[in-house]
């Protein structure tokens, strides 16, 4: 409600004068060039586009200030906020007008261009602006039939008055502002949707890891301790392979999301590509065995050096082989090979497949696309695995292409990588000595192990496994119980979950480092698998960060 001494609204609206004032001649060529530049910039919709629109309005209309006000509906009462400003009032960016009491609200309500003379007489919040506004021309624009904002220009000079040509120009520019803001909103919605998807995947992956860890630990324990006949052995193998596939699928989903948002980092160093391929072949062995495929491997005897992340390079091979095994015809074979041609090394994966059904052979096909006619679950896995393989290859400076080598063993992929020069003899000798030293050095055996985890199944199944290795193991559910038991038990190693009620694993680790000896081995065992999670664990005092389900061989080495 305006104070009683405020001049009435109609006393500051002088829109009728636009038709009576002499209008300057249009400068169509200058206007067209400015509009073309704005249209070109719409290829990258952002808030900067609105700023460019107001700069053009300021220039074409010779105004003192120009701005775009966006109608924000998240408040109890909708109100306009200045999202772009230039000229004398540029310091008032993000200025928020009172609801239902602004020139923008009047123009929006009347859905037409409105000219105001000294609007601060009626809209008192404008009186705080410097320099004072002499005239304000406000043009509303709509998106999907609803007013979304206004484009406005102001004069701070009594000698400068707006005319019908200014109204025409701002009307045209307001359409560009509407299109640009709509595109920006769509992009922001997609980003927000992607962010929510990533959060869901992260939560899903974390929640999946506890049951996967418990099942994996239990199966590993049975493998070591329970003699089984042939049928039971086969059933156990099925469970192991399916657990490995579900775990890998959860990792792939997170990795694809990380790559899309630029958060996946490669730990690159001079790496032997042939050794990475062997690791990838070993990791794909369960999937190849599950589908009953034969694999033929052709690798060079000498190393091929690349600048890469050995773990991610092996992951590329694993995903290509897994998809090849899944698509190979019954009784068919999978081929894996590595060759070098000048400055490039090529990993080739091909198999006996039906080219018509799979759709792999076309050079124009999308590597991440699922084969025609594939079952839904297989198609989704195919797309995830190959998309990840392609993205990881490109992150290494390489490229992936489909290939066809004839009907007998049709369809496959070539992943090409730039090659480094071979290391000199001294470097090779130092590398060999370092590798030999890593093999002969073993930490002393740690006999007492404490597992702290609020998941009973996870801690109990891991304890069974560790006891089968000869360790004395205690378990505690939660941080408080873990700290009490650690004081009594005095373990050589503590395996800590991160997400626990009360104190989390980071806080427990920090407390143990303060109150206990420094040689206590602290291992984080968590469902969080991001690089920042690993870094945070090391900062909190952990010696290692392992993810659920635990890599059994790695844990055995840490405790050996």
pLDDT digits (tens, 9 = 90+) for 383-396: 567 888 888 899 89
CATH class name, domain 266-423: alpha beta
What does the pLDDT look like over 317-361, one tens digit per residue? 988 998 888 888 777 888 999 999 889 999 999 888 755 334 333
Could you tell me the two tokens for 198? Answer: 């990533």
By C-alpha distance, which of 458, 525, 456, 528 is closest to 205? 528
- Sorted by where each begins, the domain ranges of the chain are 9-189, 266-423, 441-559
What does the pLDDT look like over 67-120, one tens digit per residue? 999 999 876 788 999 999 999 999 999 999 988 789 999 999 999 999 999 999
Hey, how many other C-beta atoms are within 10 angstroms of the C-beta on 129? Answer: 17
C-beta separation of 473 from 446 below 8 A: no
Question: Can you say whether the dihedral through the CA atoms of 535, 537, 543, 544 is positive or negative?
Answer: negative
* Distance, CA of 200 to CA of 214 (rounded, Å): 22
User: Each residue of 418-445: b (16+ CB within 10 Å) or e?
Assistant: ebbeeeeeeeeeeeeeeeeeeeeeeeee
- Predicted local confidence at residue 45, as pLDDT: 65
* Distance, CA of 180 to CA of 46 (rounded, Å): 8
Which bin fits 118, alpha (ψ -120 to 50), beta or left (φ > 0)?
left
* Distance, CA of 274 to CA of 31 (rounded, Å): 62
CA atoms within 13 A on the CB side of 185: 13
* Distance, CA of 162 to CA of 20 (rounded, Å): 11
- Predicted local confidence at residue 424, as pLDDT: 53
H or E element at residue 225: helix 164-225
Distance of CA 481 to the CA centre of its chain: 37
The matching CATH number, chosen from 3.40.50.300, 3.30.450.40, 3.40.50.620, 3.30.30.10, for 9-189 is 3.30.450.40
What does the pLDDT look like over 134-172, one tens digit per residue? 999 999 999 988 999 999 999 999 999 999 999 999 999
CATH class name, domain 441-559: alpha beta
Please name the residue that has the structure tokens 């859905």.
111
- pTM to 2 decimals? 0.51
Compute the average pLDDT of residues 487-492.
89
Q: What is the 3-state secondary structure of 317-362?
A: HHHHHHHHHHHCCCCCEEEEEEEEECCEEEEEEEECCCHHHHCCCC
Q: What angle do CA 202, 208, 214 make, to 5 degrees?
A: 145
By C-alpha distance, which of 495, 530, 337, 302 is closest to 415? 337
- 423 pLDDT above the threshold of 90: no
- Predicted local confidence at residue 406, as pLDDT: 54
- Predicted local confidence at residue 3, as pLDDT: 46
- Predicted local confidence at residue 361, as pLDDT: 35
More confident residue, 46 or 547: 547
Confidence of residue 263 (pLDDT cuts 50, 70, 90): low
By C-alpha distance, which of 154, 150, 113 is closest to 130? 154
Query: What residues have CB less than 8 Å from 255, skipping those under 6 apart?
Result: 264, 315, 388, 392
Mean pLDDT taken over the chain: 81
C-beta separation of 414 from 347 below 8 A: yes
Q: Where are the beta strands (DSSP E) in 100-233?
A: 114-117, 135-143, 146-155
Q: Which DSSP state fits 476?
A: E
* Distance, CA of 274 to CA of 486 (rounded, Å): 45
By C-alpha distance, which of 148, 180, 124, 128 is closest to 69? 148
- Predicted local confidence at residue 350, as pLDDT: 87
């Amino acid at each position: 409600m305006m104070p009683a001494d405020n001049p009435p609204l109609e006393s500051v609206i002088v829109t009728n004068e636009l038709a009576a004032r002499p209008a300057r001649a249009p400068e169509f060529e200058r206007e067209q060039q400015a509009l073309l530049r704005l249209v070109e910039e719409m290829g990258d919709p952002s808030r900067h586009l609105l700023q460019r629109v107001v700069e053009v309005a300021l220039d074409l209309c010779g105004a003192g200030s120009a701005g775009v006000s966006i109608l924000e509906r998240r408040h109890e009462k909708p109100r306009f906020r200045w999202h772009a400003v230039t000229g004398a009032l540029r310091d008032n960016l993000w200025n928020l007008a009172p609801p239902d009491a602004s020139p923008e609200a009047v123009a929006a309500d009347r859905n037409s261009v409105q000219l105001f003379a000294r609007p601060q007489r009626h809209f008192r919040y404008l009186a705080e602006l410097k320099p004072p506004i002499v005239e304000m021309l406000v043009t509303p624009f709509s998106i999907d039939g609803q007013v979304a904002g206004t484009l406005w220009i102001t004069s701070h000079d009594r000698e400068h008055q707006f005319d019908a040509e200014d109204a025409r120009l701002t009307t045209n520019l307001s359409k560009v502002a509407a299109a640009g803001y709509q595109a920006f909103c769509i992009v922001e919605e997609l980003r927000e949707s992607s962010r929510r998807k990533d959060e869901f995947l992260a939560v899903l992956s974390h929640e999946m890891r506890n049951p996967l860890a418990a099942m994996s630990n239990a199966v590993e324990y049975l493998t070591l301790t329970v003699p089984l006949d042939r049928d039971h052995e086969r059933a156990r193998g099925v469970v192991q392979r399916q657990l490995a596939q579900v775990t890998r699928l959860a990792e792939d989903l997170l990795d694809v999301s990380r790559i899309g948002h630029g958060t996946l980092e490669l730990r690159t160093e001079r790496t032997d590509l042939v050794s990475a391929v062997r690791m990838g072949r070993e990791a794909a062995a369960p999937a190849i065995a599950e589908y009953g495929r034969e694999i033929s491997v052709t690798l060079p005897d000498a190393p091929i050096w690349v600048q890469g992340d050995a773990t991610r390079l092996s992951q590329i091979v694993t995903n290509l082989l897994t998809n090849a095994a899944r698509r190979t015809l019954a009784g068919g074979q999978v081929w894996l090979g590595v060759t070098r041609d000048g400055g490039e090394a090529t990993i080739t994966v091909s198999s006996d497949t039906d080219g018509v059904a799979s759709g792999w052979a076309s050079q124009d096909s999308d590597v991440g696309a699922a084969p025609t006619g594939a079952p839904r679950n297989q198609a989704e896995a195919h797309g995830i695995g190959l998309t990840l393989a392609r993205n990881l290859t490109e992150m290494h400076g390489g490229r992936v292409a489909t290939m066809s080598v004839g009907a007998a063993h049709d369809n496959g992929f070539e992943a090409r990588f730039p090659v480094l020069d071979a290391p000199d003899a001294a470097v090779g000798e130092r590398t060999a000595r370092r590798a030999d030293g890593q093999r002969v050095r073993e930490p002393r055996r740690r006999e007492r192990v404490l597992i702290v985890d609020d998941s009973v199944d996870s801690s109990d199944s891991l304890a069974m496994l560790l006891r089968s290795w000869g360790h004395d193991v205690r378990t505690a559910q939660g941080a408080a119980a873990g700290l009490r038991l650690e004081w009594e038990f005095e373990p050589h190693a503590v395996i800590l979950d991160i997400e626990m009620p009360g104190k989390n694993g980071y806080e427990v680790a920090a407390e143990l480092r303060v109150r206990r000896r420094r040689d206590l081995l602290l291992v984080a065992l968590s469902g969080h698998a991001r690089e920042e999670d690993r870094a945070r664990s090391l900062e909190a005092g952990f010696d290692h960060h392992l993810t659920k389900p635990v890599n059994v061989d790695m844990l055995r080495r840490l405790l050996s």
